[in-house]
Amino acid sequence: MRNVDIKMLKQVQHDGPLDRIIIMDFSYTETQDMIRETLSRFLADTYDFDSRNKMIASGSGRDAGIWKALAQDLGMLGASFSEAHGGLGGGHLENALIMEELGKVIAIEPYLQTVVLGGGALKAVGGAIADAVIPEIIGGNVIIAFAYAEPQGRYNLANIRTTAKKDGAGYVLNGHKGVVYAAPWATHLLVTARTGGSGSEANGVSLFLIDANTAGIVRRDYPTVDGFQASEVYFENVAIPGDALLGDEGAGLPLIERIVDEATVSVCAEACGVTAKLHSGTLEYARQRNQFGQPISRFQVLQHRMVDMFMEVEQSKSMTTMATLKLDLPAAERMAAVSACKAKVSRAAKFVGQSAIQTHGGIGITQELAIGHFFKRATMIESQFGSADHHYARFERLTLAD
């Protein structure tokens, strides 16, 4: 695969991060097109609405065979890793297009957590741990869950009470992480914890990758409203080795912010798939639903709503492309771009989701049609890694000083 080379952008005019860039090449490589087509075909065969319902209703809440097939039959889990690690040599664009396809079937695969977040952190730190774990991710043998949120922390990544106290060569973890998606399935946990400092201080935040079965980890597992499995995770004097630390002790926040930005754009890409389906599903329904002696798609008020949905979907795609291409810029510009993207996509997800249900009428509120399940995932995406309000505020802090 051709590596997509996104170098430092040149200052073209003015100040302000969003003025910096011009894109003139929006084309995908042949390999990227092939990844999309292969994945799309596979998901069409495996992820129809009934199959998805069966997976969710099963004991583990998933079909582990699909993850294996994605890894071993399709090579999909290696798309965004380097060839040196056994991957296809891609990066952010590959993650985005895979997430968009997963969104089109509201897949419940732990790609975001394992590849984007776990893989992203490992790529960033490199070294022995990356060499050891990345090939296992690509092979489908490792599933990572990201234990970062805490009940009091809301969307502030530095607001952490979980502690990692130095103990000989290793650390001892104590604390509570909330709503850890994919934790019941995970072989590893990617954990944020304080090795120093307090409150929301930037200093003293560290990132660890630990074995999910380490003694002292207590989980309370539950299903989420959008079809995943998650856990409340409690660390009770969990002894972890020193080499579980990713990056430097106490200086992990920039790394965490970076992988969360990458994950934020990934859920935006997923949202593009989810909202595209909400829109096309609504169009299809409006064409076949008859009232007043004609298909309701003939009513102009509904046509204009569906056009508004279309425009939101298209703008979500534009923003996701913009942010994906800016993920390797210096932190302040990356963050402004990601927040602009998420703010816009969060609102689009709400509008498109609500409009889809309204256009369907009563049947939209039932579990019987897929549309409602797309709506539920869209709704969770709205606030995942920060609500629209959170991201507008971050964008303003970065770009609209007094």
Partner 1 sequence: MQLEFSPEEIAFQQEVRTFIAENYPENLRSVQDEGHDLSKEDFLSWHRILAKKGWIAPAWPVEYGGTGWTATQRFIWSEELAAADCVGTMPFGLSMVGPVIYTFGTPEQKAQFLPGILSGDDWWCQGYSEPGAGSDLASLRTKAVRDGDHYVVNGQKTWTTMAQYADWGFFLVRTDSDAKAQEGISFLLINMKTPGVTVRPIITLGGEHEVNEVWLEDVRVPVANRIYEENKGWTCAKFLLAHERTGIAAVARSKRGVEKIKSIARTEQDGDRPLIANPFFKRKISELEIDLTALEFTELRSLAGEAAGKGPGPESSLLKIKGSEIQQRITELALEAVGHYGAPYFRGFGEGDNEHPIGPDYAHRAAPTYFNTRKTTIYGGSNEIQRNIIAKMVLGI
Q: Between residues 173 and 322, which has the closer beta carbon with respect to partner 1?
A: 322
Q: Between residues 123 and 279, which has the closer beta carbon with respect to partner 1?
A: 279
Please count the other Cβ atoms lying within 10 Å of the Cβ belonging to residue 189.
Answer: 32
Q: Between residues 244 and 335, which has the closer beta carbon with respect to partner 1?
A: 335
What CA–CA distance (Å, rounded) separates 370 from 238? 42
CB of 314 to partner 1, least distance (A): 6
- Contacts with partner 1 by CB under 8 A lie at 4-7, 9-10, 12-14, 16, 18-19, 21-28, 93, 283, 286-287, 297-298, 300, 303-304, 306-308, 310-311, 314-315, 317-319, 321-322, 325-326, 340, 343-344, 392, 395-396, 399-400, 402
Q: Between residues 195 and 266, which has the closer beta carbon with respect to partner 1?
A: 266
Both tokens assigned to 210 = 């630990």
What CA–CA distance (Å, rounded) separates 176 from 160? 10
Residue burial 302-320, b: 16+ Cβ < 10 Å; e: rest: beebbeebbebbeebbebb
Q: Between residues 91 and 118, which has the closer beta carbon with respect to partner 1?
A: 91
Q: Using CA of residue 217, residue 221, residue 224, residue 228, what is the dihedral sign?
A: positive
Both tokens assigned to 295 = 């298909």
What CA–CA distance (Å, rounded) separates 241 from 66? 32
CB of 40 to partner 1, least distance (A): 19
The strand pairing partners of 298, in sequence order, are: none
CB of 283 to partner 1, least distance (A): 6
The strand pairing partners of 206, in sequence order, are: 193
What CA–CA distance (Å, rounded) separates 388 from 377? 16
What CA–CA distance (Å, rounded) separates 156 from 208? 18
Q: Between residues 15 and 45, which has the closer beta carbon with respect to partner 1?
A: 15
Q: Between residues 186 and 322, which has the closer beta carbon with respect to partner 1?
A: 322
The strand pairing partners of 391, in sequence order, are: none
Q: Between residues 100 and 109, which has the closer beta carbon with respect to partner 1?
A: 100
- Any residues with CB less than 8 A from the CB of 121 and at least 6 apart, and which? 190, 207, 209, 246, 255, 259
What are the backbone dihedrals phi and psi of residue 377, each rounded to the nearest 5 degrees, phi first? Answer: -65, -45
CB of 91 to partner 1, least distance (A): 11
Contact 84, 151 (CB under 8 A): no
- Angle at which helix 300-325 crosses helix 253-288, to 10 degrees, equals 160
Q: Between residues 238 and 322, which has the closer beta carbon with respect to partner 1?
A: 322
Give which of 125, 32, 33, 47 is closest to 80, Cα–Cα.
32
Side-chain half-sphere of 290: how many Cα atoms within 13 Å? 2
